[in-house]
Chain A
């Protein structure tokens, strides 16, 4: 693989008529939306609504039954389109390789593709870990980290690839509120700093309204509404209204 170019500019993503079924169960029922370059786009929806499946399509881990995904206008099904742009994904579980140290995880992409000499990889790893507030954790194993730290290591690993598009799968799930704020802060800062396109799937309302330029709400494989955070808040769709406003109410004690 060729060395990635040094310029870093977010790329546009377009999803057209995306359909996917698993065992006769249709998970995605014809999704259409567009993410502009350098935009933070959050796709919200309840668990099981097809959000993660959509992300897996965008990064080429799943093949659609129908429809297409375009990066800068080029369908990813065409050969080499996924190699042409630098994409990274932060998995819900972090997706860190448990047999490698934190430093080895972060430097894995550069090491495996022989893109830099070992000393430089070590420097880049340290810089990126520092960027996500995890300085000095290079020699720790993933099992020694908390959930929030694992996600931040996953973000550092994604940054090493100098991505033009970062996909986040439920970045704040399973985190305490303070760690969730730290992650949301990291995502917002990254977008400011490197102007990367961010596609986030989440059911965390605070994250979505805190970092998104635009939000789409998805349910049962269909997009119900799409727009700026204010526009989505004003949506008349009953599901969207309930999804954004329902809070737990403790039953009254007698």
Chain B
């Protein structure tokens, strides 16, 4: 385990050192960025709309019964932007994009494509890892901003449609504006930026150390997704604790 952590830190460091050459890889970065956004946007919309709805459904009636109807918008808004949108979207992207990264790089390793790159003096970090990391680090925060907005809409829709809550759209967003500050949104987006690097580094690392045939690729994909999610959840606690100050 510690060897893997060490290798991931080295991979991250080498990728950061390669960042100045990122402009040369702009075509690949754009391709990856489009792939991440295009592949995930619909899922992000559906997931965040229903997450917003569920939070409204769980908290709305309880707060309304206790005369705290003015807090519903704020509770839904703050839980989505600070916690649920960044964490849930990161988990979604770990499953959807992290697995694809590990599988693609893993199969390139197994079928000697990465060896072929090395024999041509082409660094796999410049050619494969850097474009993926830049793309995911740019795309995930954008998806999270989108998820926050759609999640709020989902919450507002449920609050207005559910008779036990019965809070109108304008009232929901008025209470949300009173409680949610811009720094709460920034906190959530910042978390997702960090999680994006985690997903990218863990998935690319798993791809690069893949051994064996198709079974090895499958193992790498599973490890990439599981390890990403575990690290995201642990880091989420640490970041939340630090950002509370």
Contacts and interface: CB of A to CB of B under 8 A. Distances in A.
A81 to B, nearest CB: 13
Interface stretch (B119-127, B135-143, B154-162): B119-127
B115 interface: yes
B121 A91 contact: no
B122 A87 contact: no
Interface string B107-137: 1100111011111111000010000000000
A89 B122 CA distance: 14
Interface footprint category on B: 10 to 19
Contacts of B127: 112
Interface in A64-114: 83, 87-89, 91-93, 95-99, 108-109, 112-114
A96 B116 contact: yes
A115 to B, nearest CB: 11
A161 interface: yes
Interface in A218-240: none
A96 B118 CA distance: 13
Contacts, number: 47
Contacts of A83: 121
B215 to A, nearest CB: 18
Contact of A97 (B24, B108, B118, B119): B108
Nearest to B111: A93
A89 B121 contact: no
A61 interface: yes
Contacts of B112: 91-93, 95
Nearest to A114: B24
Interface of B: 24, 104, 107-108, 111-113, 115-122, 127
6 contacts: A87-B119, A93-B111, A95-B112, A95-B116, A98-B107, A109-B121
Given A89-B119, A95-B112, A109-B121, 9 more contacts: A56-B115, A89-B116, A95-B115, A97-B117, A98-B111, A99-B104, A108-B122, A112-B127, A113-B121
List the 6 shortest-distance A-B pairs measured between CB atoms, nearest first.
Answer: A95-B116, A95-B112, A109-B120, A89-B119, A91-B112, A112-B122
